[in-house]
Amino acid sequence: MGVRVRVRILIKDRSVEAHALANSGFETERPQLLVPYAFLVRNNINLEDLGRPDISEYDTAGGPIVIYIMVRAR
């Protein structure tokens, strides 16, 4: 069962608060925060502000999606 938690995302000199889904059943070697592109646009967050992402494309049941992976985020 997923659990929703409130998180604060620090980007350069500002922060954005949002709700996040934890315990979604997926596991990774390091913690990950996945956000929709619409979230970035709505909060005026520019991809250049986050650094240079690795870009991957994944096939899903709804069609292919592009994922921006910020490998140096902490």
For 1-25, what is the HEC assignment?
Answer: CCEEEEEEEEECCEEEEEEEEECCC
Which two structure tokens, joined as six digits, stand for 15? 């922060």
> Which domain, by its residues, includes 23?
3-69
Tell me whether residue 30 is in a domain: yes
Domain total in the chain: 1
pLDDT at residue 22, rounded to an integer = 81
pLDDT over 80 (residue 9): yes
Confidence of residue 68 (pLDDT cuts 50, 70, 90): confident
Return mean pLDDT, the chain: 81
Tell me whether residue 62 is in a domain: yes
Tell me whether residue 47 is in a domain: yes
How far does the chain reach from its first CA to its final CA, in angstroms? 25
Confidence of residue 6 (pLDDT cuts 50, 70, 90): very high
Tell me whether residue 49 is in a domain: yes
Q: Closest Cα partner for 12 from 54, 43, 42, 38?
A: 43
> Quick one: average pLDDT of 19-45?
80
Tell me whether residue 35 is in a domain: yes
Tell me whether residue 74 is in a domain: no
Cα separation of 34 and 68, whole Å?
A: 9
